[in-house]
């Protein structure tokens, strides 16, 4: 369940609430009791960072990959053995 931030427009009291997506937002302020509560827009609490994120991470091994973290330089594709034989066709 996500945590939502709320603020009362009447008294300025800010509070958080753990609730389901389907639950209604609170209407009355727990501090002053006025029906002036609004949901606040907050930033997510995680960040994707590091050198391991590629634009084409889910493509096949033979496709070219670019590392987005270092400005788009190309990564070397995985080497395939020279004596690899194709799999026999299924009947």
What pLDDT score was predicted for residue 90?
A: 64
What pLDDT score was predicted for residue 44?
A: 74
Q: Where are the domains of the chain?
A: 3-39, 47-77
What pLDDT score was predicted for residue 43?
A: 81
What pLDDT score was predicted for residue 1?
A: 78
Tens digits of pLDDT across the chain (91 residues): 788 999 999 999 999 999 998 999 999 999 999 999 999 988 877 776 666 655 555 555 555 655 555 565 555 555 555 555 666 666 5
How far apart are the C-alpha atoms of 72 and 75, rounded to whole Å?
9
3-state secondary structure of 9: coil
Cβ neighbors of 77 (< 8 A, separation 6 or more) are 61, 62, 63, 64, 65
Contact yes or no for 76/54 (Cβ under 8 A): no
pTM, entire model: 0.48
Give CA separation, 59 vs 39, 51, 53, 55, in Å: 40, 18, 13, 9
């Amino acid at each position: 369940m996500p945590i939502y931030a709320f603020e009362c427009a009447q008294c300025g009291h800010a509070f958080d609430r753990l609730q389901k997506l389907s639950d209604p937002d609170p209407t009355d302020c727990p501090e002053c009791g006025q029906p002036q509560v609004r949901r606040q827009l907050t930033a997510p609490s995680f960040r994707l960072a590091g050198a391991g994120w590629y634009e084409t991470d889910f493509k096949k091994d033979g496709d070219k990959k670019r590392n987005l973290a270092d400005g788009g330089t190309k990564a070397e594709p995985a080497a395939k053995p020279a004596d690899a034989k194709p799999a026999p066709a299924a009947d």
